[in-house]
Amino acid sequence: DTGVSQNPRHKITKRGQNVTFRCDPISEHNRLYWYRQTLGQGPEFLTYFQNEAQLEKSRLLSDRFSAERPKGSFSTLEIQRTEQGDSAMYLCASSPEGGGSEKLFFGSGTQLSVL
Amino acid sequence: DQQVKQNSPSLSVQEGRISILNCDYTNSMFDYFLWYKKYPAEGPTFLISISSIKDKNEDGRFTVFLNKSAKHLSLHIVPSQPGDSAVYFCAALTNNDMRFGAGTRLTVKP
């Protein structure tokens, strides 16, 4: 399977705990994106990497959120001191650089539930 | 600020008929528009796109129309099939900033 892979698929945590999600993009894709989707809404942009460089962060990304892509391959998204409002589907997407970069390939997401 | 709007949360059509999904946007800087399809428990998958320099793009049963003056685009599916039942997201792009609409749930009845 050469698609975008996200782990875990589901995460249930208690308020105040830290959680970390992993995304493995399509191997030849330089660009990696994190989105958040809540029920009844479309995906909302969180942050974007080109190789290992984090080029853009949304205002939605509070100080409790941090994302890394240390070697320009897989990425992690960490949420510290989770709140109930963080409950959402966290989607990772990747795309190639240059032609076709606008077509994002999404993973199946990590569904976070904060109790 | 919701720059991309899909005002119909749901649409139901009969198999074989045409499905028309609509999308409006407010930012005139968007230069590329896409439609994604999402099945339950899966991420969105790319369906079809159109550049702002065009007004129509066709791919098999799927056609996207763009009306820049009205800041409106639509996706036509004809003929509709039960397997097309899914949530469809409209997306608009400028400078690596992609915004999504809230989605329209399409149900195609046999």
The 10s digit of each residue's pLDDT in B5-61 is: 999 999 999 999 999 999 999 999 999 999 999 998 889 999 999 999 999 999 999
- Using CB atoms within 10 Å of the CB of residue B65, give its burial: 0 to 12 exposed, 13 to 18 middle, 19+ buried: middle
Q: Where residue A18 falls among pLDDT bands split at 50, 70, 90?
A: very high
The 10s digit of each residue's pLDDT in A58-115 is: 887 889 999 999 988 999 999 999 999 999 999 999 998 766 667 899 999 999 999 9
Per-residue three-class SS string for A10-28:
EEEECCCCCEEEEEECCCC
Q: What is the mean pLDDT of residues A41-60?
A: 90
pLDDT at B1 over 70: no
Contact flag A43-B44 (C-beta cutoff 8 Å): yes
pLDDT at B70 over 60: yes
Stretch (H or E) spanning B19:
strand B19-25
Contact A48, A55 (CB under 8 A): yes
DSSP annotation string for A72-83:
SS-EEEEESS--
Please state, in angstroms and rounded to a whole number, the distance separating the CA atoms of residues B89 and B35.
6
Residues 6 or more apart whose Cβ sits within 8 Å of residue B38: B44, B45, B86, B87, B88, B89, B103
**C-alpha dihedral sign at B48, B29, B103, B72:** negative
pLDDT at A1 over 60: no
pLDDT of amino acid A96: 86
pLDDT of amino acid A49: 93
Please state, in angstroms and rounded to a whole number, the distance separating the CA atoms of residues A79 and A63.
9
| CA-to-CA dists, residue A42 to A26, A37, A49, B65, B88, angstroms | 23, 6, 21, 21, 10
| Bridge partners of residue B22, in order along the sequence | B74
* Chain A interface test: which of B87, B88, B98, B105 (most A C-beta within 10 Å): B98
pLDDT of amino acid A33: 94
Task: Calculate ∠ Cα A92-A106-A115, nearest 5°.
Answer: 50
pLDDT of amino acid A2: 75
Backbone angle region of B11, left / alpha / beta, with phi > 0 → left and psi within -120 to 50 → alpha: beta
The 10s digit of each residue's pLDDT in A24-41 is: 999 989 999 999 999 889
Contact A114, A84 (CB under 8 A): yes
Please state, in angstroms and rounded to a whole number, the distance separating the CA atoms of residues B27 and B56.
20
pLDDT of amino acid A56: 86
pLDDT of amino acid B102: 95
- Contact residues, chain B to chain A, C-beta under 8 Å: 4, 6, 9, 32, 34, 36, 41-46, 49, 89, 91, 93, 96-103
Q: What is the mean pLDDT of residues B67-74?
A: 96
Residue with tokens 């989770």: A82
Contact flag B43-A102 (C-beta cutoff 8 Å): no
